[in-house]
A and B are shown apart, each in its own frame.
Chain A
Amino acid sequence: MAELRIAGVTKSFGAGPPAVERIDLRFADGELTALLGPSGCGKTTLLRMIAGLETPSAGRIELGGADITALPAHRRRFGMVFQNFALFPHLSVAENVAYALSIAGVAKARRLARAEELLELVRLPGLGARRVGELSGGQRQRVAIARALAQEPDVFLLDEPMSALDAQLREEMQVELRLLQQKLGITTIVVTHDQREAMTMADQVVVMSKGRAEQVAPPQEVYRNPANAFVAGFIGKANMLPATAMGGAARLDCGTSLALSPPAAFRDGAELVLACRPEWMRLASGPGPNRLPARVAFVRDIGQVREIHAEADGRTLVCELPFSAPERPRLGETIHLEFPPDMLRAFPARDRAEVA
């Protein structure tokens, strides 16, 4: 197998801003990459260009150094799982799985044997004779995966593969799909809008917005060190605070100064957005550095965490405490929220509009 690279890939549909704009990515051999973003961010268009179902308006797609930009889908050997699975209702389960082999001219006995092998791989042994209409959603998805793997594809593509499944099954299938992908060691690209799904399965996450790649990094890196305010807001939850840079620290509108570690690399007076995840904040017993007084507006105890919604500086901040935390703030009480300097992220304020 070989490495897949895309360089400067752009796709425009008619007038208006391009659906995908100058994206450069490397998909390492055997790794799973998640294209993550809100709907309409261009992630599916990008996947379809990789599959050969759309032609890029500009840019190159390379597989193992060979330019495959103009290669039609049927000559790429990329297995693809579609959002609605797109199984063939007129064929049996085994014939569905063996479709690619029958197109390639493999003898019937051999391709049916291979289909049974693949059905065992996706834990559906003995279902080959069934009709597609007799399968449940989860079984259909497994058949779609087996069918896409039948031609031993160079790259395995999945377009929102879990969106047609119910919540509980989705969690199970994410783990199962990841295990399968690691077992086969196949280069895989998954399109998803679910950050949990991306975090569960991916080696590399590409966060997309408005046709651009906002950040390309391993999932934990994306979570801990978001590249900008959009990523911070889209992946997980984050409290956002407008501020002004002042001597390496950030000054809030209310006058409180918050220290940053490492110090913010902005010139003094620059407008900033500060981001801090709810579970990174602490409750302090009294005023002090990097602390902000706030009034408790709402407490949500959902078992494993306790969420404190508190009003400060004219906005609501959320602080998440583990269930074992001793603090139990009451409604209307004044608390002191502490922002640990190494847990605060500062972004230039041009991102502010995107956050709001």
Chain B
Amino acid sequence: MSTPPHAPAPAQARAQARAAAQQADRADPGAGAAGADLSAPRGRPGATGAPVDARPGAPSRGLRFVHAQYALALVVAGLCLSPFALVFAISLGEVEAGAAWNWGVSAANYARVFVGLDWPESASFVYMRKLGWSLAYAALGAVIAVAFAFPFAWAMTRRSRRAQTVWLVFLLSSLSLSEVFVVMGWDVLLSNRSGLPMAFRETGLTDWLKAVGWFDVLREIGLATPRNVRFKPSVFATVLTLSYLVFPYAVILLYPALSRLDPAMMEAARTMGARPFTVIRTVALPACRLPIAGAALLLFVYLLGAYVAVTVFADPSRQTLTITIYESVRGATLNAPFGAAQAMVLLVTAVACLGASLALAKRAERRS
């Protein structure tokens, strides 16, 4: 994505308003106004707003610089966009026998993603459901990670400088764990024979859950067999692992905003009768709403591509588009054009989500 070269209009208008407000301060009919007039230099050169750098030689140098910029932009665009263009071109092709495929211009692969192979005789929304699961897992994972990261980062900024550094180093180093490693850990922890379910059974927690009746609730939401609790496969385990994976990112994304938050603002709220929790709700959260939304969005888009956690923890009927994309391109089904079509749909969905939230943020900013 590129940023527009000119400052957006609202920002300009705001700057003008600020300048006008500052002038209003000076123009107060006070004692010093006349004195300021006396000392103000008249017709100071350079204050007229004429460009200083208007030498005859300057344009050609500027032009050369512009050319270099265009060339660089072309290279970057080529490098970034050509893979996407290639995937898009493949998605229009047709599969042959085996792994082979031919170039083409058919929308059949897209039709299959949206309404199934047998359209128009019958419609099947298998892949749309998978897209739905992709969005659901990513959204839940991102929101839960941010929801836990906010109080965590908040508590972190209340610590001493030294403690904050230690926590940051710890979080950064935890990012070096690969997704595979983290998923393996949770896999062991949640596995039925050796993980938490065993601990539940051995410590009598299962019996206690049965006694108080909560076991039936767990069974209803699919987290228990008739004999014991069972965490995998489940939506719960998938979302838990996904949010665990991105939690350090969430903290690191929120930390700068929270540490920049002026403590005097929180104290001001306290002197105006706000309890500590009310201060967080009415001052800290709203003041950080853009960083919070930004972090959630970034992690959501990142989690749309999650693969390992979903293969390990999600029930096959609740797996995501990422899994079938992989199966189409490298795995069992071997249909590269169809895989490419699915990938394009996932990509467009992610871009649409980004665009929609940017538009929402802009509207919210204009309204407030």
A residues contacting B by CB (< 8 A) are 51-53, 72-80, 82-84, 86-92, 99-100, 102-104, 130-131, 133-139, 147-148, 150-151, 157, 168-169, 171-172
Contact = CB atoms under 8 A, between A and B. Distances in A.
Nearest to B16: A134
Interface stretch (B79-87, B184-192, B268-276, B322-330): B268-276
A83 B268 CA distance: 11
Contact of B271 (A133, A138, A148): A148
Interface string B280-306: 001100110100000000000000000
A88 B265 contact: yes
Contacts of B271: 51-53, 73-74, 76, 78-80, 148, 157
A100 B273 contact: yes
A147 B274 CA distance: 14
B18 A133 contact: yes
B17 interface: yes
A131 B274 contact: no
Contacts of B272: 74, 79, 99-100, 103, 147-148, 150-151
B268 A131 contact: no
6 contacts: A52-B271, A73-B270, A130-B17, A148-B272, A151-B272, A157-B271
Contact of B21 (A53, A103, A139, A150): A139
Interface of B: 14, 17-18, 21-22, 24-26, 28, 30, 32, 36, 262, 264-265, 267-275, 278, 282-283, 286-287, 289, 368
A219 to B, nearest CB: 21
Question: Which of A74, A75, A76, A147: most chain B Cβ within 10 A?
Answer: A74
A80 B268 contact: yes
A74 B274 contact: yes
Nearest to B289: A90
Given A74-B271, A76-B271, A88-B283, A136 B24 contact: yes
Contact of A86 (B30, B268, B286): B268
A179 to B, nearest CB: 14
B32 A168 contact: yes
Question: Which of B25, B36, B268: most chain A Cβ within 10 A?
Answer: B268
Contacts of A52: 270-271
A103 B270 contact: no
